[in-house]
Chains A and B, each alone.
Chain A
Amino acid sequence: MQTNEICWSCKGPLNEGFFCPTCGTLRRPFALSPFKFFALPFAFNLNLNTLEERYLDLQKQFHPDKFVTKTSQEQMNALSWGGFLNDSYNKLKKPVERACLLLAEQGIHDVLEEKPTPDMMMKQFELREQLEESEQLDDLLIEVQDDIANLESGLVESFDSSNFEKAKKQTLELQFLSKFTRDIKRKMRQLKTN
């Protein structure tokens, strides 16, 4: 976090806060990890209630209504922070994106562009065939949801033990299974309406 910068309004020194400690104006957005933004530890395990609470709290701080009497620069800053807030919240909430953020913190980018291993491909192909051929999808859905739960607890472990290679693989698998779950549910709806 940049602490050696000066306030755009009063030119006073800045600390780690969003507001200038001297004149109290809202700072311009600066590069910030969503985890730090939400004052969360760099871990995959996340208490959704805490996330929700912090989201509402931050939303209040940057709410446009609080800046109606302020300069247009400060109003713009509030809008930018609000955008960054929503974006960060949506990413942290979703397990796959949360994992990608944590990997990016380690300098591992574009995880979802990686090629799956042959074993993963084989399993994905078999799952796709099952979905295509079967009309009784309840069991398949339960199986996939179990796999997702296992992957998520596996990710907690991998990140806690700094095993980022394993976390990468698990993230890829989770990405596939999340999409696959939507496809199962779509077919279930179609079967119901026919």
Chain B
Amino acid sequence: MKPAARMLLWTGAALALFFWASPALAHQERGQAAGLLAGLKHPVSGLDHVLAMIAVGLWGAQLGAPAIWVLPVAFPMVMAFGAALGVLGIAIPGIEVGIAVSAIVLGVMVLTEARPPLGVAALIVAFFAIFHGHAHGTELPAGASGVLYSVGFVVATGCLHGVGIGIGTIHGWPKGRIALRLGGAAVALAGVFFLLRALA
């Protein structure tokens, strides 16, 4: 491993451990009740979110540069925007349906190895990011305020993308490409299940 990569890894690990520390009670931000762990757990608490986030990473890996880095840079900010709408109580209709459709669309994109222009791919991902973010924003536990919760929430989402990108590296092998497409099919099928459940 190169020195710069090793340094990044160590810095990341140290920061992760650092933020694991218990929040300071009665600190200047009042209501900082929920800490990093609650924020980390929230994005991984629903399979629909998890599959869609991983599918974003898988698709990015299939598309290659520059999509592989544009999507992870753009997604957290758009999703946080959606979460902010949810926190503020601004309603968006059909959230659960939108989340289910996101799994179907992203799964189909991976299944078919679709290669739309970068702007279109980013728009698709950003559009669905708002649904996912909004759901997280409205489902946040009451009184859970604080920067550490936000840190956990954003980092967990980014890590799910990272998992998707990591898995997506199998795209470099012929059998890996087939496995990746099968994975896309599985995500799309799960999306159909989520959609039926949302409509029931």
A binds B: no
